[in-house]
Chain A
Amino acid sequence: MILPFYIIIPLFTAFLISLIGGKKDYAAVIFSVISVFSLVCLSLYGFFIGGRQILVYRMSAWDIPVGINLVQDSLSSFVLVMISIISLTSVLFSIQYIRHLSQDWKYYALFMLLLSGMNGVVLTGDLFNLFVFMEIALIAAFSLVAYGGRAEEYEAAFKYAVMGSVSSTLILVGIAVTYCSTSTLTLALIAERLPALNTKVVYWIGGLFMAGFGLKTAAMPFHAWLPDAHSSAPAPISSMLSGVLIKALGIYVLIRIFFNVLGAPELFMRIFMVLGTVSIIIGVFLAIGQWDMKRLLAYHSISQIGYILLGLGLATPLGILGAIFHMFNHAIFKGLLFYNAGAVEMALGTRNLKNLGNISKLLPVTSGTSMIASLSISGIPPFNGFFSKLIIIIAAIKSGHPVYAFLAVVGSILTLASFMKVQRYGFHGDRVIETKQTNVGLAMNGAMITLAVLCLVTSLMIVPGIKESILDPVIAVILNKTQYIQMVMGR
């Protein structure tokens, strides 16, 4: 019963904001905060109370082979919680950050469209509907990247839009091949009919979707658009794109298609592992040389996505546990790091590490939370990043891939090195900076502190007892293909 509201609420808010239009900017802020907050409540309710069984919703009461259906299982509700938490903090952060750009209401309307697209992708159980929601999210994302109106932003948005269109076309061809061979678009039915077909069909479909969604995920050979797009966008949008969008449109869909529909074919699992490891190493090497703070963070997104892909490619329960856990953790600490970069840029007018110095006195909250986030991303206990990376590395060793495990450790050490650089030059440098252009307001600090606290709290998810109730159902959904089919088909 609650399922369509994940999509209705943000969509309704988006067009309500655009209906009210330019006169009252505070109304747009209020509407979007209310809408995002209700989405947080809804997703937490769905996760903890309603999410113990699979919910299937038939849109406009058409039965499954004919109509579009929405499916919420543990994996969907887990990703929904992640999306809504990051979007709540992002809206809070935007209130002050976006004010210096013109026409707030367009920003909030696009933000809500982005949110409804992502929620739709996560919830839908129909392949083409997934494509449509993905395009809604992507078009909103292209516009938001260009929102600042500077030359670099248009350039980044153009690159992003071209790459996005190419990948969408590949996905459309993949959908065409799927429909041609199985004559259905419902994910569960495709999963049911595929094993009876020639295995070449699986390779065709898998290859096309791998290229298409791999471009959205920005794994290594397809990464070129990510650093531009994610570093040029406004800071709250960078955190949405890096923290949530590449996971909802990339990782989540890859999991859904390759595990629940195609049934984890051996070849693609190996490709996942190779791509993941290459992304870890090359992403971190490219990141170390950067002096632009947001660009450095964007390259780290590629590297951290590599860890998730490596964990998924292992296809053991432990590896998937690590991947899922790292996906959530990465959303939180990468969101926080982008907020830090945005706050620094707003307060001091630059985000080049060479021009920064000791700002721990000037911006205590920003530098404190950035320390926590840096420790998390480089995997220092007791923060959440440590546990998820450790699980992935242990899983790699256990399943007999010591080389991948070694490379993951190397990547982690290099991550630590590059964040020591950020802390050394950016926040605790020699030059003491004493003047700032603007104050970092309460809502921005609140958003950063919330995520910093979550960095510590989410590491509790691995404690036995909590792990069984939160992470284990998600892993069960991913690993059990037939259960997904049966639950959706209602048998």
Chain B
Amino acid sequence: MKRQTGMTLIVKTITRLTVWLIILYGFYIILHGHLTPGGGFGGGVIIALAFLNVLLAYGREFTDKWLKISFLEKLESLSIILFLLLGITALLAGKLFLENFIGKGHLYHLLSAGTIPVFNIIIGIKVAMSLFLVIWILSGLKLEEGEEA
């Protein structure tokens, strides 16, 4: 019998069923960041943990194929650049750096609080990507190789 990477069939099936639900919950937390507890950081962590589930259940090779790690790295760098560009846009609009430059809307509505939801989304991407990449890199470290001292 061919030896498979990752965990057993049960774990794989459960992961396949739940991973999108977890990601959806992460998006919910990110999008409601200006209304409820959570926000970019909390939601990003949840998304990263969903990816981590896949990594644990299916192993490194499948995850690399599924998520395209090099793409995630680009996305991580891009998110900070977007953050800074959004901050500079406020400067161009005649406001101070990172200042809110669009309408604030009504309190307790989903589309409110000006640029804060946008920043939340960017931070969510950044946190999800960097947290997952940290785990990815640490999981790739091998203790066996290397020379004797």
Complex: A in contact with B (CB within 8 Å): yes
A residues sitting closer than 8 Å to B (CB atoms) are 4, 8, 11-12, 15-16, 18-19, 21, 57-61, 151
Residue ID in chain A nearest B81 by CB atoms: A15
* Contacting residues, chain A, for B95 (C-beta < 8 A): 61
Of A8, A16, A19, the residue contacting B87 (CB under 8 A) is A8
Q: A18-B73, A60-B100 are in contact. List 8 more A-B contacts (CB 8 A).
A: A12-B81, A15-B77, A16-B81, A57-B96, A59-B98, A60-B96, A60-B98, A151-B149
Within 8 A of A (CB), among B13-46: none
* Contacting residues, chain B, for A58 (C-beta < 8 A): 96
Contact B97 A11 (CB under 8 A): no
Task: Compute how far the CA of A475 lies from the CA of B87 in the bound complex, rounded to whole angstroms.
Answer: 34
Q: Please classify how large the interface on chain B is, using the bins under 10, 10 to 19, 20 to 34, 35 or more.
A: 10 to 19
Residue ID in chain A nearest B126 by CB atoms: A15
- Given the interface contacts A18-B77, A21-B73, A21-B74, does A12 sit within 8 Å of B99 by beta carbon? no
* Contacting residues, chain A, for B98 (C-beta < 8 A): 59-60
Contact A8 B96 (CB under 8 A): no
Residue ID in chain A nearest B75 by CB atoms: A19
Task: Compute how far the CA of A11 lies from the CA of B73 in the bound complex, rounded to whole angstroms.
Answer: 17
**What are some 9 contacts across the A-B interface (CB < 8 A)?**
A4-B91, A12-B84, A15-B78, A15-B81, A16-B81, A21-B74, A57-B97, A59-B97, A60-B96
Q: Mark contacts of B59-95 with chain A using CB atoms, 8 A cut-off: 1 yes-contact digit, 0 otherwise.
A: 0000000000000011001101100100110110001
Task: Compute how far the CA of A151 lies from the CA of B149 in the bound complex, rounded to whole angstroms.
Answer: 9
Task: Compute how far the CA of A16 lies from the CA of B84 in the bound complex, rounded to whole angstroms.
Answer: 11
* Contacting residues, chain A, for B78 (C-beta < 8 A): 15, 19
Task: Compute how far the CA of A19 lies from the CA of B85 in the bound complex, rounded to whole angstroms.
Answer: 15
* Contacting residues, chain A, for B97 (C-beta < 8 A): 4, 8, 57, 59-60
Task: Compute how far the CA of A60 lies from the CA of B113 in the bound complex, rounded to whole angstroms.
Answer: 14
Contact A60 B74 (CB under 8 A): no
Residue ID in chain A nearest B95 by CB atoms: A61
**Least distance between B22 CB and chain A CB atoms (Å):** 28
The 4 closest A-B pairs by CB, nearest first: A60-B98, A19-B77, A4-B97, A61-B99
Residue ID in chain A nearest B147 by CB atoms: A151
**Least distance between A363 CB and chain B CB atoms (Å):** 33
Chain B interface mostly = helix
Task: Compute how far the CA of A8 lies from the CA of B80 in the bound complex, rounded to whole angstroms.
Answer: 11
Task: Compute how far the CA of A16 lies from the CA of B81 in the bound complex, rounded to whole angstroms.
Answer: 7
**Least distance between A65 CB and chain B CB atoms (Å):** 17
Q: Mark contacts of B2-17 with chain A using CB atoms, 8 A cut-off: 1 yes-contact digit, 0 otherwise.
A: 0000000000000000
Within 8 A of A (CB), among B98-149: 98-100, 149
Residue ID in chain A nearest B149 by CB atoms: A151
Contact B99 A60 (CB under 8 A): yes
Task: Compute how far the CA of A16 lies from the CA of B78 in the bound complex, rounded to whole angstroms.
Answer: 8
Residue ID in chain B nearest A18 by CB atoms: B77
**Least distance between A22 CB and chain B CB atoms (Å):** 10
Task: Compute how far the CA of A19 lies from the CA of B71 in the bound complex, rounded to whole angstroms.
Answer: 10
Contact B84 A11 (CB under 8 A): yes
**Least distance between A58 CB and chain B CB atoms (Å):** 6
Task: Compute how far the CA of A61 lies from the CA of B78 in the bound complex, rounded to whole angstroms.
Answer: 25
* Contacting residues, chain B, for A60 (C-beta < 8 A): 90, 96-100
* Contacting residues, chain A, for B100 (C-beta < 8 A): 60-61
**Least distance between B39 CB and chain A CB atoms (Å):** 16
Task: Compute how far the CA of A361 lies from the CA of B80 in the bound complex, rounded to whole angstroms.
Answer: 49
Task: Compute how far the CA of A61 lies from the CA of B115 in the bound complex, rounded to whole angstroms.
Answer: 13
Task: Compute how far the CA of A12 lies from the CA of B78 in the bound complex, rounded to whole angstroms.
Answer: 10
* Contacting residues, chain A, for B73 (C-beta < 8 A): 18, 21
- Given the interface contacts A19-B74, A21-B74, A151-B149, does A11 sit within 8 Å of B96 by beta carbon? no
* Contacting residues, chain A, for B96 (C-beta < 8 A): 57-61
* Contacting residues, chain A, for B84 (C-beta < 8 A): 8, 11-12, 15
* Contacting residues, chain B, for A8 (C-beta < 8 A): 84, 87-88, 97
Task: Compute how far the CA of A136 lies from the CA of B36 in the bound complex, rounded to whole angstroms.
Answer: 29
Task: Compute how far the CA of A15 lies from the CA of B129 in the bound complex, rounded to whole angstroms.
Answer: 14
Interface centre among B84, B88, B99 (most CB of A within 10 A): B84
**Least distance between B147 CB and chain A CB atoms (Å):** 9
* Contacting residues, chain A, for B88 (C-beta < 8 A): 8
**Least distance between B62 CB and chain A CB atoms (Å):** 24
Residue ID in chain B nearest A8 by CB atoms: B84
**Least distance between B92 CB and chain A CB atoms (Å):** 12
Residue ID in chain B nearest A11 by CB atoms: B84
**Least distance between A132 CB and chain B CB atoms (Å):** 14
Residue ID in chain A nearest B119 by CB atoms: A60
**Least distance between B116 CB and chain A CB atoms (Å):** 10
* Contacting residues, chain B, for A21 (C-beta < 8 A): 73-74
**Least distance between B70 CB and chain A CB atoms (Å):** 8
Of A4, A19, A57, the residue contacting B81 (CB under 8 A) is A19
**Least distance between A6 CB and chain B CB atoms (Å):** 11
Of A15, A57, A61, A151, the residue contacting B80 (CB under 8 A) is A15
Residue ID in chain A nearest B79 by CB atoms: A15
Task: Compute how far the CA of A16 lies from the CA of B99 in the bound complex, rounded to whole angstroms.
Answer: 23
Residue ID in chain B nearest A16 by CB atoms: B81
Task: Compute how far the CA of A59 lies from the CA of B91 in the bound complex, rounded to whole angstroms.
Answer: 11
Task: Compute how far the CA of A109 lies from the CA of B81 in the bound complex, rounded to whole angstroms.
Answer: 13
